[in-house]
Chains A and B, each alone.
Chain A
């Protein structure tokens, strides 16, 4: 073969491979196209409107003509951070509560998913029971129940002080004695307090774990059984099997669950309630928009940090 022909062939090859990768990027864009259109048409448009509202005095001009926006020189932002009595504090507590609950919920739901993924009698019923928090926590049913919650019979109250008095006063067992003993074992008091707080809020944690358990269950079920068989033949102990197979295989979904837990806790947090009330009870669209935007931005920053930190430890097939 002459040198010229060979060169031509190489050139041809290179052009082909380039076009393949750009073709793949076009195909990829086509796959996400519906979402992109929706995002820019509805969400981005909504965000732009909200930003404009947050920078203006919003005057509701009557039923027919909608609203009028008057530029007010970042007045809403200064008011939110310097004049409003509770906003900064509420935002802080919301973020802090979120970070406290996330590890508890993730450990608890992974643990429970491992349990109910095993084979035992009555598994279908148990899975249905563990699915109940998802249904009971869904908006319509939750709202219908909230009005009647005070009259509920036979429920465990989520209030931790009650549980604490119940366990401290029962059967002459001095719980504090044992707690002090743990303290003497050089376990940091902050950690003990964290665990006791978690036990007191077990109801809240279980209710908040429904979705995560279902997601983990799906992750566990998508691990091919052949991998476990191979590990068994190689003589892996259950401990090794968990840390070397199960954990890496569900790790992408741990990120999903962390993200979901953060968002779920944010959606029910006091700061969102504050923003909602400011808009719909006080009709202060401008200030309410500032609350929403600032808190969403804060959560986005938290999510990005979590994403970057966790992505390094996650096992992907790439």
Chain B
């Protein structure tokens, strides 16, 4: 009887057996884990994509498909007419190019100003630092519509400290209807969601090891050079993240665009909000259910550039950072 146990023990203790068994076990465990992960990711992807699938499918429906009770998701007579008309009415390509210049420019300003402020708060001590950082929090929290009216009047009669008046015979200028209000606010770190970006940068810089900075200082680099050549490259994931958010939110901004009456020839977001009305009035599509299909096509055309930008940034920048191992 004991011999049997002895034999089993001998077999299991044999290094070739245990390595084989360990290998099989590890394989099995990996497989179970991978399928668990796949199930979760697939399920959640479906929840995320389901409204989008509906939108994309409907945007190809012809009028008959839209009313046919047998059509579900896959159209019988697919048409690209929705896209053609939506692109024409939104003046898509021109507006997209204008918009990209505007959005990318603003995002670059955001990156510079907010990373500077985040770095300043993360690594320097100065008087009233905590109170000033509370100002950042206030900027994030305050619902923007609360200060709509003061912002509107500020830019309607723009004359900070009487400086504009010096060049304009003592008169203020009306900046509404131009892109200047948004640019000025972004330059001074209070643009669209700037407070949040400052906060993200602050947390990121605080998470970086101090040693890399000290090494730079010992090597004789000045503060600005340390920031530009040491801290920024190390915060590359934060830069990419903020760049992505900056582009997406600026691109989708309804609030500043409307408040400052920025021309809709550079704002797709304003074009899309008036698309349904344009289609029903100019093209005499009186049926709201059909007009909605054009809006769907417009929404798909609006989402596409953002998605491409995100995939590009993720694939080329983030994975590049991972490979080159700048971090650390």
- The answer to whether A4 has its CB under 8 Å from any CB of chain B is no
Do the beta carbons of A42 and B151 come within 8 Å of each other?
yes
- The answer to whether B49 has its CB under 8 Å from any CB of chain A is yes
Contacts A38-B190, A115-B40, A218-B241 given: A31-B119 contact, CB under 8 Å?
yes
Contacts A45-B150, A140-B252 given: A253-B141 contact, CB under 8 Å?
no
CB 8 Å contact bits of A56-82 with B (1 = contact, 0 = none):
000000000011000000000000000
Q: Name the residue of chain A whose CB is nearest to the CB of B45.
A: A129
Do the beta carbons of B248 and A134 come within 8 Å of each other?
yes
Return B318 CB to nearest CB of chain A, in Å.
6
A304 vs B256: C-alpha distance when bound (angstroms)? 28
Among listed B15-23, B170-178, B278-286, B307-315, interface-contacting one: B307-315
Do the beta carbons of B126 and A29 come within 8 Å of each other?
yes
- The answer to whether B143 has its CB under 8 Å from any CB of chain A is yes
Return A43 CB to nearest CB of chain B, in Å.
5
Within 8 A of A (CB), among B142-180: 142-143, 145-147, 149-151, 153-154, 160
- The answer to whether A296 has its CB under 8 Å from any CB of chain B is yes
* Cβ–Cβ < 8 Å partners of A259 in chain B: 137, 140, 199
Among listed B3-11, B100-108, B293-301, interface-contacting one: B293-301
Contacts A46-B150, A296-B142, A317-B209 given: A224-B325 contact, CB under 8 Å?
yes
* Cβ–Cβ < 8 Å partners of A27 in chain B: 124, 223
- The answer to whether B207 has its CB under 8 Å from any CB of chain A is yes
Contacts A27-B223, A35-B189 given: A252-B146 contact, CB under 8 Å?
no
- The answer to whether B194 has its CB under 8 Å from any CB of chain A is yes
Do the beta carbons of B322 and A275 come within 8 Å of each other?
no
Return A296 CB to nearest CB of chain B, in Å.
5
- The answer to whether B117 has its CB under 8 Å from any CB of chain A is yes
* Cβ–Cβ < 8 Å partners of B315 in chain A: 124
CB 8 Å contact bits of A121-134 with B (1 = contact, 0 = none):
00010111111111
Do the beta carbons of B241 and A35 come within 8 Å of each other?
no
Give me 24 A-to-B residue pairs in the complex whose CB atoms sit less than 8 angstroms apart, sorted by A's number.
A24-B223, A27-B223, A28-B129, A29-B126, A31-B117, A32-B120, A35-B189, A46-B147, A50-B146, A124-B314, A128-B310, A128-B311, A130-B48, A131-B307, A131-B310, A135-B307, A138-B251, A144-B273, A151-B289, A221-B322, A256-B200, A263-B140, A276-B143, A317-B209
A142 vs B210: C-alpha distance when bound (angstroms)? 42
Do the beta carbons of A144 and B248 come within 8 Å of each other?
no
Do the beta carbons of B207 and A222 come within 8 Å of each other?
yes
A103 vs B295: C-alpha distance when bound (angstroms)? 36
Q: Beyond A38-B194, A225-B325: 13 further Cβ-contacts under 8 Å?
A: A21-B125, A31-B120, A66-B153, A112-B44, A115-B41, A131-B307, A140-B268, A140-B273, A218-B318, A226-B328, A252-B204, A256-B199, A299-B141
Q: Name the residue of chain B whose CB is nearest to the CB of A149.
A: B51
- The answer to whether A49 has its CB under 8 Å from any CB of chain B is yes
A103 vs B324: C-alpha distance when bound (angstroms)? 35
* Cβ–Cβ < 8 Å partners of B127 in chain A: 25
Nearest 4 CB-CB pairings of A with B = A28-B124, A224-B328, A38-B188, A46-B147
A222 vs B137: C-alpha distance when bound (angstroms)? 25
- The answer to whether B196 has its CB under 8 Å from any CB of chain A is yes
Within 8 A of A (CB), among B40-64: 40-41, 44-55, 57-58
A289 vs B54: C-alpha distance when bound (angstroms)? 40
